[in-house]
Structure 1
Amino acid sequence: MILSGAPFDPIAFRLGPLAVHWYGILIGIGALVGLFVAVREGRRFGVAEDFFYDLLLLGVPVAIVFARAYYVLFQWPYYAAHPEDIVAVWKGGLAIHGALIGSGLVALFYARRRRVSVWWLLDVAAPSLIIGQAIGRWGNFMNQEAHGGPVSRAFLESLHLPNWIIEQMNIGGTYHHPTFLYESIWDFLGFLLLITVRRRLSLLRGELIALYAIWYSVGRTYIEGMRTDSLMLTPTIRMAQVMGLLLIALGVAVIVFRRRQPDATRYDAPPDRPAPPDVC
């Protein structure tokens, strides 16, 4: 199909009247890979796997709801006229910054209920978040969204991309920047950075999630300038770039704040023992 120049079908398969979309499959795979990464790290601290299973079951639905609500909010004129599309998440339209807001609220609630340090929980989750984002961006690829402006086929070939990616970026007869790919690669490099730093450097709790916020936001802020489907704060200001700058500033502030705390706990210190699930 791709060899003939046709795009991928965004629907992976059907179960009777139910259409299963690649978008949802890839987001699910990203969540499971993130869970695997968190469980492996939790073993270093003697934390049971159920701790992370429960967190995933709570966090993913909340993150999706917040991601969709954030997207709908900044596209409200369209959704006000097409309310039936508000729940059509399989068509795309999950804003990562909305997901991060939802995930942060879940982390605060879950850490309090399970009696662990929220800084420790966020640090353990940081590599999981960014590898999940790296994989989830391929859902945008399948939907032919989150792309950049027009480019020539020769430009895409100069990036040494396989033909199946090049042809998927042919939308309506025009080739586009594969900004989904740029961000996926940036996120994967960030994942390698985070897992390397947490093993080799002596970090304080809170510094790994701060590094995540800085790394991700630097790349997203730059790449966002290439995209053609940005959520806009004003006709000239992209919301993702505003959020990116805010997260960079917040990440730096967290590192400075933690370094100035004389009693700040090291990341590798044993965590407070998680309370059993029945206290939730």
Structure 2
Amino acid sequence: MDTLLLLDPVAFSIGPLTVHWYGLILGAAALVGLLLVIQEGKRYAIPQEVFMDMVLLGVPSAIIGARIYYVAFKWDDYKDNFWDVFKIWNGGIAIYGALIGAIICAVIFFRRKGYNFWRMADICAPGLIVGQMIGRWGNFVNQEAYGGPVEESFLRNNLHLPDFIVNQMNVNGVFHHPAFLYESLWSLVGLGILLVLRRQKFLRAGELFMSYFIWYSIGRFFIEALRTDSLGFQAPAWVASVVNGMWSPMTAMGFEQGYLDPAYGNVRISQLLAIAIIIVAVLFIVVRRVTGRADVRYSDPIVSTKVPSEPSDDMPQTGAPGTGAGKDSKEDKTTSTLAREEQRQAEDKKE
């Protein structure tokens, strides 16, 4: 076996200040995601400050949500040591909790800015998944969020992983599934799908955001069962049987589930939540299509109700109240609206 070289979780120190790779990687993940969102926002003339402010508020909200989610399902470990709840540097956050916190913040923030949440969430979806793709490498450096034990030969010969990953998956002399890598690669494929999907004419408002949740949750359902640090839930035996049955294709491919402490339950919470999210997301898309509520396309303009639009120099000015110019302008808008609706109906027939 090659000489074991583990990565130092500390990137550098300046006096008493210690900077960890985990923090740098998460910062890079947030920055790359933000740049991707800003670039797409330019197509809709959305000021980049809107997204920058969203990140400044969303990141703390995500951290708080992630911690509350984790502590809620492990309350027995904290109820007698309440101050440990705030010691987030000791670990203990959950990504679904982070998403819940960030979404709540986004709903409030975008509403105050006058933007439709679903339109803005669609723009942010690729940024979210690229952030998760990069952020998982923080778990790699910290040797956390890994899967169950495997043979070294599985990592080298079956997965053909480079030495630096194989060595880092050696935790206290035992090699483990690189669950971080599985999820990072799954997110990379998902990013490509979202980037292609958002340029399709059939895509309606909110559907790219739902597609992100569907793709991520499918991967999370199968990858979560490999991990040994999952939050558990004591569910009826039939629920555990259904979940295990759905995961059985992984067993056929030679994978085994990681250890789940019976003291915490018989089903992984993230797997149950992944199933629920997939169902809700699919229903969201179908119901809105069937009821006709999905009438706004992803490609349609995005306008804030709080920012008055200014007429450009090359657009005709409307006349003062009481003159014919104002009336003509209204008629032109009506004609334009009808033309857009006829074009949309024609496109729908082509689809």
The aligned counterpart of 1:130 is 129
Sequence identity percentage: 47
Once residues 123 and 79 of structure 2 are traced to their aligned partners in structure 1, the CA distance between those partners, rounded to angstroms, is 39
The aligned counterpart of 1:223 is 223
The aligned counterpart of 1:246 is 276
Residues 253 and 168 from structure 1, CA distance in 2 versus in 1: closer, same or farther, beyond 3 angstroms?
same
- The AA in structure 2 aligned to 1:228 is T
The aligned counterpart of 1:272 is 303
- The AA in structure 1 aligned to 2:292 is P
Once residues 201 and 297 of structure 2 are traced to their aligned partners in structure 1, the CA distance between those partners, rounded to angstroms, is 11
Task: Say if 1:137 and 1:181, in contact at 8 Å, map to a contact too.
Answer: yes
Once residues 274 and 181 of structure 1 are traced to their aligned partners in structure 2, the CA distance between those partners, rounded to angstroms, is 42
Q: How many residues align?
A: 274
Task: Say if 2:119 and 2:298, in contact at 8 Å, map to a contact too.
Answer: yes
- How many angstroms does 1:86 deviate by? 3.1
- How many angstroms does 1:81 deviate by? 5.0
- The AA in structure 2 aligned to 1:102 is G
Once residues 13 and 73 of structure 1 are traced to their aligned partners in structure 2, the CA distance between those partners, rounded to angstroms, is 34
Once residues 134 and 183 of structure 2 are traced to their aligned partners in structure 1, the CA distance between those partners, rounded to angstroms, is 10
The aligned counterpart of 1:5 is 4
- How many angstroms does 1:103 deviate by? 1.3
Task: Say which is worse superposed, 84-93 or 145-154, in terms of deviation.
Answer: 84-93
TM norm structure 2: 0.75
Task: Say if 1:134 and 1:188, in contact at 8 Å, map to a contact too.
Answer: yes
- How many angstroms does 1:68 deviate by? 1.4
Residues 82 and 4 from structure 1, CA distance in 2 versus in 1: closer, same or farther, beyond 3 angstroms?
farther
Which runs of structure 1 show a deviation greater than 6 angstroms over 4 or more consecutive aligned residues?
none
SS in structure 2 at match of 1:154: helix
Task: Say if 2:146 and 2:179, in contact at 8 Å, map to a contact too.
Answer: yes
The aligned counterpart of 2:24 is 25
The aligned counterpart of 1:204 is 204
- How many angstroms does 1:201 deviate by? 4.1
- The AA in structure 2 aligned to 1:243 is L
Match of 1:236 among 234, 242, 266: 266
Task: Say which is worse superposed, 162-171 or 94-103, in terms of deviation.
Answer: 94-103
Once residues 9 and 81 of structure 1 are traced to their aligned partners in structure 2, the CA distance between those partners, rounded to angstroms, is 33
- Alignment gaps of 5+ in structure 2: 235-264, 308-351
SS in structure 2 at match of 1:200: coil
Once residues 49 and 30 of structure 1 are traced to their aligned partners in structure 2, the CA distance between those partners, rounded to angstroms, is 18
- Alignment gaps of 5+ in structure 1: none
Task: Say if 1:24 and 1:90, in contact at 8 Å, map to a contact too.
Answer: no
- Give deviations 1:61-101, integer Å, cap 9, x for gaps: 10111111111222223334555543343443221100111
Q: CA RMSD in A?
A: 1.6
SS in structure 1 at match of 2:199: helix
- How many angstroms does 1:15 deviate by? 2.4
TM norm structure 1: 0.93
Task: Say which is worse superposed, 197-206 or 130-139, in terms of deviation.
Answer: 197-206
Once residues 305 and 27 of structure 2 are traced to their aligned partners in structure 1, the CA distance between those partners, rounded to angstroms, is 26
The aligned counterpart of 1:77 is 76
- Say if 2:86 is the partner of 1:92: no
Residues 38 and 148 from structure 1, CA distance in 2 versus in 1: closer, same or farther, beyond 3 angstroms?
same
Task: Say if 2:201 and 2:299, in contact at 8 Å, map to a contact too.
Answer: no
SS in structure 2 at match of 1:86: helix
Structure number, greater radius of gyration: 2
Task: Say which is worse superposed, 87-96 or 34-43, in terms of deviation.
Answer: 87-96
Task: Say if 2:111 and 2:117, in contact at 8 Å, map to a contact too.
Answer: yes
